[in-house]
Amino acid sequence: MKRLKHFIVTATAAGAVLVICLSGWGCRRDVRLAGKKVRSLQVRTVEHYGVVLNQDASPQEVAYVLLRAIRDDVNAASPAEREAALDVQFDVCHPGSISGSSRPGVKRDEVVHLVVTHWAPALAYYVDSFDFDPAEAKSRMTVSPTKVLGDGRRSCSVYLPVDDPNGDPKARVIAAVVLIRAKPGGGPSSGTDGDTGYWRVNRVGFRLGTRRAPSSAGSPPSTGRSG
């Protein structure tokens, strides 16, 4: 419970901090990233939880790995365990699309760090609904039709129903993982981060039209809503 409370407080404060930093309101680098491990990111084939995330991996497989890592992050018993869980989350993120709105003077990997490290607080309240078994997880997921974005990349959302830990049926919602894929073969849809052909995560949140747990229950805010 202490870890969950920590994530709830972090999520509440972090949302405001992130907006301030990305809006260029003078948030200093040594304040927001002091002592943090800022990873140098490149999309590549990785394997986590027995799932190989190569160019043939499905959106559901990527979402499963992300949600397992978020569960491990929230339940981490030590800083080392949390860093290991964060490594997985960074492995499945799509750095190019996440940093697309970064401002001059703010490095891409710093922007991605600020966003990805708030995915776990956003979904922390519901992590007990994230399955350990990949087959069970995928059986509960649905995938939206793929959309072609203006730059030629593809996007889809993976949805997973999640239950209120306190058993409130009215607080049941649908978590959403939004993914991006750059088409192999060059042209306007080709990627710049080694991401061609890979489904990778752009953001997490909750599906529009679903009710989240009331604030009195301690539900943290999401870092983004998806349709």
- Of the candidates 97, 36, 37, 93, the residue with the CA atom closest to the CA atom of residue 66: 93
Residues 6+ apart with CB under 8 A from 14: 117, 118, 121
pLDDT recorded at residue 150: 84
- Whether residue 169 is contained in a domain is answered as yes
Distances (CA, A) of 185 to 49, 179, 196: 30, 19, 8
Structural domain for 101, as ranges: 2-217
- Whether residue 224 is contained in a domain is answered as no
Number of domains in the chain: 1
- State both tokens at 40: 């140098």
d(CA 221, CA 11): 6
- Whether residue 89 is contained in a domain is answered as yes
80: number of CA atoms within 13 Å, CB side? 0
pLDDT one digit per residue (tens) for the chain, 227 residues: 444 444 443 343 334 333 333 333 334 444 444 456 666 678 899 999 999 999 999 999 999 999 999 999 999 999 999 999 999 999 999 988 887 755 556 677 788 888 999 999 999 999 999 989 999 999 999 999 999 988 888 999 999 999 888 888 777 899 999 999 987 654 444 556 677 889 999 999 998 655 544 443 333 334 444 44
Amino acid making up residue 211: R
pLDDT recorded at residue 216: 35
Helix 108-116 vs helix 2-22: crossing angle, to nearest 10? 150
- Whether residue 46 is contained in a domain is answered as yes
Which element (helix H / strand E) includes 22? helix 2-22
Residue keyed to tokens 């304040």: 31
- Whether residue 90 is contained in a domain is answered as yes
CA-CA-CA-CA torsion sign (22, 23, 29, 30): negative
d(CA 186, CA 132): 37
- Whether residue 101 is contained in a domain is answered as yes
3-state secondary structure of 115: helix
Q: What predicted TM-score, i.e. pTM, was given to this entire model?
A: 0.74
Are the C-beta atoms of residues 214 and 145 closer than 8 Å to each other? no
Burial of 163 (0-12, 13-18, 19+ CB in 10 A): middle
Are the C-beta atoms of residues 85 and 76 closer than 8 Å to each other? yes
- Whether residue 43 is contained in a domain is answered as yes
- Whether residue 227 is contained in a domain is answered as no
- Of the candidates 205, 151, 148, the residue with the CA atom closest to the CA atom of residue 178: 205
